[in-house]
Amino acid sequence: MFILFFFQKIRLGTFFIQKVHVIYEITMADFTFLIGGEAGQGVQSMGYILAMAMAKGGYHVFASQDYESRIRGGHNVFTVRVSDRPVRAISGDVNLMIALNGETIARHAVEVVGDGPIIYDGERVDAEASSTLFSVPFERLAVERTGNRIMGNTVALGAALSVVKYDLDILFGVLKTVFGKKRAEVAEKNVEAARGGHAYAQHHYTRAGGTLPPLGDSRRMLINGVEAVALGAVAAGCKFMSGYPMTPSTGILQYFAGQAEALNVVFEQAEDEIAALNMVLGASYAGVRAMTATSGGGFALMVEALSLAGMTETPAVIVVGQRVGPATGFPTRTEQGELEFVVHAGHGMFPRAVFAPGTVEEAFYLTTKAFNVAETYQVPVILLTDTHLSDSYVTADTFDLTRITIDRGVFLSEDAIKALGKYAYRRHKLTESGVSPRVLPGQKDALVVTAGDEHTEDGHITESAEVRDRMVRKRLTKLDGVRKAIGAPHSYGPTAADTVLVSWGSTYGALREAVDRLNEKGAAVRMLHLSEVWPFPREAFSGLLAGSRQFMVVEGNATGQMAHLIRAETGLEAAGRILKFDGRPITPAYIVKQFREEVT
Amino acid sequence: MVTLKDYEGGETAWCPGCGNFQILQAMKQALVALNLAPHQVLFVSGVGQAAKLPHYLNGNLFNGLHGRSLPVAAGAKIANHALTVIVVGGDGDGYGEGGNHLLHAIRRNQDLTYLVHNNQIYGLTKGQASPTSDQGFVTKTTPMGVILQPLNPIALAIALGATFVARGFAAKIPHLTDLIVKGIQHKGFALIDVLQPCVSFNHHNTYTWYTERVYDVGEETGYDPQDRFMAFKKAQEWGERIPVGVIYRSERPSYEDQVPAFRAGPLVKQGHDLRKVERLLEAFIP
């Protein structure tokens, strides 16, 4: 046990301690593959297949993409981090690289640690000789084995898994699942290509190699943030989705559209984001759960309709997948720059809720909650995600549908409508909670009238000062209800920590790992993570800070937007800000380094 | 039986003599003629004098943003296609602010009826040029006269393959009533452009100006509204003679005919089956 503890402490990947077999079996595996190449070379599908193969063999996976806004050329990278324990962030270190071009070697060789192998096609790519380079003729073997050089990528995967002594049958199974949908023949050729790479590596890879033994069959899902949100919408009974494609949220629209026929739901591609949210409001007014998904630029176009949702008290769920701004920014990269935008967006005063899921699990469950809050309080709810969460594939326990509740809010029964009398129903009736019972248009004896103009209880336009005063109060009273629905921040780490590090959204995984690393090295830090950010959970947040001397924020933006919100809502001032805004995700190592600089 | 009394609504905020009163009258008569009860009808409107119309009769109403009534109507119709959905707005709302939505509403061909009160001027903001203002027209924002070419909504709609394109004149109430009836009965997107005198701000296109020019294509022998080229030619007429009536109509499947989810009835009436979601989750396990 002592030895086990020792090795965990120094965090060695199994790859480097393979010779100490006794220990190897019980140490923590933490291994990162990096695949790099041009857009169009198949980096993404290779990475996804590798991630699937590792997940299927029982590993926890965190697979992250780094790609450019182009279809061909450029430089794309897919990292697959695997461990026998849950992994929630990219590591920054690489243990094995598959380079499909010379640029990958030039750029990323420096990230390879512990003499990890760099597998490349030496017949196609020039590279300076090095002991860690291992040439596998991807293309030649692909042609020899399958007659098709495109299969070179699968040769590379076969070689890589041979080097780490993974069970190739698992890869074969995945290839059959992925390509079998197209044609059995294509799947078979891929299997043959993988065999070719595997055999070649077995014969030619002479260095002492580490192993990643399969850990047993796993029932975990391999899923990314957009899929989790889309599934959340489906589980919540969303019947209508409208949107205009925009990275990183396009996947939500595509998933929903792809399932529309099977689920009896409708996806409509709108002419622009203005139309998308207005369509959602129309559908929601008429009685179905409806959602749209976009990024910051698209949301900018939706802002007028957001205000309309507030005024007409129409439930709506809006996914804002943050990417780098301003304007078009880095279209395919990540940032947390829209927190203050979504909290304050819209002309006039109206209540809203903002959720910022930190994991795929939260992306799923908070999406279902977003619909409940939207309908219960008749307000717009914004799900604030980002490119990093949207695109990263992670393993997760299968989402628990028994946890799903569907709360559609208050509706008037037919009898209640009858009792009111013909056309006496008032859509915006004043109530103590501010929430007026709903009726769906089409109901006999009731007319459902609402307006973006200030309106009377029956929904018709008014200029009355008294009505205006009452209606503003009515709408804002609903915020009290929304506030009660907001969950407390998550606390992780020792209660007695000196410093609390505050994160929100996709920074969750990186900060959690950074907190572990810092505490292992003797720091006393705790994390507070906000996934439900608006209305800001003032009391819960302040209460959870108690016992610690100070707090710092960790955010993917340049100004410390959460720090601003915290100060505005609680009066508390962050003692430090760990910020990143270069378009790349925050890593545990980055936080550790920045934290040390902040405290010295 | 539905009667005019069922549609009697509140007090209006229009100028005396406004063409909107006649359009309101025609609208009520059309709905009565179709025996549609107010609760079966959903009006969607935006902002402008025309967009207030649904506040002055009975019906369900979503009165939204300037220019954005068509997408709201699209969403509502998708949620419940059993509703009769009528969109009402002006030329600024439909041809200016909401122009892009009109293009795509025509493509989408949902079963909506869209009435555009076209007075060739901005009334609510008190007298600025509209997308349909005649060239040379002096307004508060075009003191030297409009230099832009006016938008031709009829030609535009025909060019885009709209399935029902009509023009009415506010003062011809029975004729307009008939157009609205036909538009509602049409299975697909129906555009009805209504020439509407603005007595306060448009002293150029007056009742007299229109009355002297409009003629009904329905009374013209040999006019075939199903002939797209003939219709497009007809749509070019403006000035000395202005055609009204059903200018163009064609048959193509409506949006509702083509969406698989509607086979099981209106979306709003359909239940939610979590077992289907369970199967979807399974697919994510490698």
C-alpha A515/C-alpha A3 separation (Å) is: 24
Residues B262-285 pLDDT 10s: 999 999 999 999 999 999 999 999
Amino acid in the structure at residue A456:
T
Are A308 and B59 a contacting pair at CB < 8 A? Answer: no
In degrees rounded to 5, what are phi and psi of residue A227?
A: -65, -40
Nearest to A252 by CA among A389, A158, A71, A66: A389
β-strands A576-579, A221-224: how paired?
A: unpaired
Interface of B with A in 199-218 (CB under 8 A): none
CA atoms of A14 and A59, how far apart (whole Å): 13
Coil, helix or strand at residue A167 = coil
Please name each of the domains of chain A with its CATH number: 2-204 (3.40.920.10), 223-403 (3.40.50.970), 414-485 (no CATH), 490-599 (3.40.50.920)
Q: How far is A553 from A562, CA to CA, in rounded Å? A: 7
pLDDT for B224-247, tens place per residue? 999 999 999 999 999 999 999 999
| Predicted pLDDT of residue A22 | 36
Distance from the first to the final alpha carbon of chain A: 36
Task: Assess contact for A485 and A353: CB atoms under 8 A.
Answer: yes
CB within 8 A of B263, min separation 6: which ones?
none
Instruction: Measure B130 CA to nearest chain A CA, in Å.
Output: 22
Distance from CA of B159 to the nearest CA of A (A): 18
pLDDT of residue A14: 43
DSSP per-residue string spanning A244-262: ---TTTHHHHHHHHHHHHH
Compute how many other C-beta atoms are within 10 angstroms of the C-beta atom of residue A444.
11
Q: Please report the domains of chain B, with CATH numbers, ordered by start residue.
A: 4-261 (3.40.50.970)
Among the partner-chain residues B39, B75, B260, the one whose CB lies closest to the CB of A280 is: B75
User: Integer distance in angstroms from the first to the last C-alpha of chain B?
Assistant: 61
β pairing state of A380-386 and A353-355: parallel
* B positions 58-117 inside 8 Å of A (CB): 58-65, 68, 70-80, 82-83, 100-101, 103-104, 108
Say which amino acid occupies A544.
L
Q: Indicate the SS3 state at residue A76.
A: strand
Predicted ipTM beyond 0.95: yes
CB contact under 8 A, B68 and A55: no
- Cross-sheet strand order for the sheet of A499-504: A490-492, A525-530, A499-504, A550-555, A576-579
Give the nearest partner residue to B72 out of A262, A281, A443, using CB atoms: A281
Inter-chain CB proximity A274 and B68 less than 8 Å: yes
Contact B63 A282 (CB under 8 A): no
Inter-chain CB proximity A460 and B10 less than 8 Å: yes
Helices (H), A205-330: 225-235, 250-263, 273-285, 296-312
Contact assignment for B74 to A223 by CB distance below 8 Å: no
Q: Which residues of A touch B39 (CB under 8 A)?
A: 441-447
Residue A32: left (phi > 0), alpha (psi -120 to 50), or beta?
beta
- Pairing outcome for strands A576-579 and A393-396: unpaired
Are B71 and A275 a contacting pair at CB < 8 A?
yes
Contact B42 A286 (CB under 8 A): yes
Question: Do the chains contact at B71 and A264, CB–CB below 8 Å?
Answer: no
Closest CA to B64 of A479, A371, A461, A345: A461
Nearest to A285 among B62, B104, B108 (CB): B62
Are B278 and A270 inside 8 Å of each other by CB? no
User: Kind of pairing, strands B84-90 and B112-118?
Assistant: parallel
**Chain B hits for A406, Cβ within 8 Å:** 272
Specify the amino acid at residue B155: A
The number of beta carbons lying within 10 Å of the beta carbon of residue B261 is 20
Which parts of chain A sit beneath pLDDT 50? 1-26
Under a CB-based contact definition with an 8 Å cutoff, are residues A210 and A13 in contact? yes
For A331, half-sphere exposure in the C-beta direction (CA atoms, 13 angstrom radius) is: 10
What pLDDT digit, counting tens, does each position of B141-156 carry? 999 999 999 999 999 9
User: How sure is the predictor about B216, in pLDDT bands with cuts at 50, 70 and 90?
Assistant: very high
B62: nearest CB among A55, A218, A450:
A450
Beta-strand runs (E) in B108-213: 112-118, 121-122, 128-129, 164-169, 190-195
> B44 touching A, CB under 8 A?
yes
Buried b or exposed e, range A557-592, using 16+ CB within 10 angstroms: beebbbbebbeebeeeebebbbbbbebbbbbbbbbb
Q: Of A163, A141, A158, A159, whose CA–CA distance to A150 is shortest?
A: A141
pLDDT tier at B10 (50, 70, 90 boundaries)?
confident
Helix ranges (DSSP H) in A296-382: 296-312, 339-344, 360-377
Q: With an 8 Å Cβ cutoff, is B148 touching chain A? A: no
Chain A nearest-CA distance from B32, in A, is 17
What tokens were used for A117?
A: 């192998």
Asked if A219 lies within 8 A of B285 by C-beta distance, the reply is yes
Q: Given this model, what pLDDT does residue B145 score?
A: 97
CA dist A198 → A134, A201, A203 (Å): 13, 5, 9
What residues of chain B lie within 8 A of the CB of A452, using their CB? 47, 63-65
Put simply, whether B5 touches A (Cβ < 8 Å) is: no
Taking Cα atoms as reference points, which of A395, A356, A354, A334 lies closest to residue A490? Answer: A356
Close Cβ partners of A543 (under 8 Å, ≥ 6 residues apart): none
pLDDT in tens, A265-307: 999 999 999 999 999 999 999 999 999 999 999 999 999 999 9
